[in-house]
Amino acid sequence: MLKHHRVRHQRHTRAFLLAGALLPLLAGCATTTPNAAATPTATVAPTATATPAPTATLTPAPGVCNAADFPTKTSGGPDEGFHYPPLTYSYAQGNAAGNHYFVLCSSGTSSTILAFLQQSIPAGGWTIKSMTATTINATQTSKPQGGFCPSVDITVGSHAGYPGEWNADFHPPAGAC
């Protein structure tokens, strides 16, 4: 009788272990809806999309500035006090008593360069003191040095045949703000 009881106990133990192992697996399958008809699922193939071609980096158009005026080119403008028109490069022409002369080249025309500077100079903490159709005189009032402020004289359109070429003459703090 002991042998019969042991065999029966082993069968119950195996059945219990088998049910315990299968129950979690079967639980995930029990999410069907009664009387639901199987419907095929359509698979949509991915559509090819065109990758846009990289745009070329814009540079001033040939002939906008006279290459002979730029023995070396420095990217950007000579002073960080305000922003320069897009794609500006500059060349320091030299210094003379209270003057730091620069020739600059920017994309655009003298009128678009002047319009850009009319916005960026005041945004950089400079005050436009006077302006004409081709010039701007501004003072950096945001950083007075002992009551004196640096200034700049800008002239556009003075290089015949080169509408993107212009000049800036920076002056150290010498005049009262």
Report the number of distinct structural domains present in the chain: 1
Q: Is residue 122 part of a domain?
A: yes
Cβ count near 112 (within 10 Å) = 16
* 136 is a domain residue: yes
Structure-model confidence comparison of residues 155 and 7, the more confident one: 155
Q: Quote the mean pLDDT of the chain.
A: 76
Structural domain contains residue 171: yes
User: Measured between alpha carbons, how far is 98 from 173 in angstroms, rounded to an integer?
Assistant: 9
Burial class (CB in 10 A: 0-12, 13-18, 19+), 74: middle
For tokens 């005050």, the residue is 127
Residue 75 lies in a domain: yes
Indicate if the pLDDT at residue 143 is higher than 90: no
On whether residue 45 sits in a domain, the answer given is: no
pLDDT of residue 176: 78
The whole domain housing 117 covers 67-176
- Joined together, the tokens standing for residue 137 give 């005189």
Q: What is the pLDDT of residues 61-110, one digit of tens each?
A: 544 899 999 999 999 999 888 999 999 999 999 888 889 999 999 999 99
List the CATH number of the domain containing 107.
3.30.310
In a domain, 61, yes or no: no
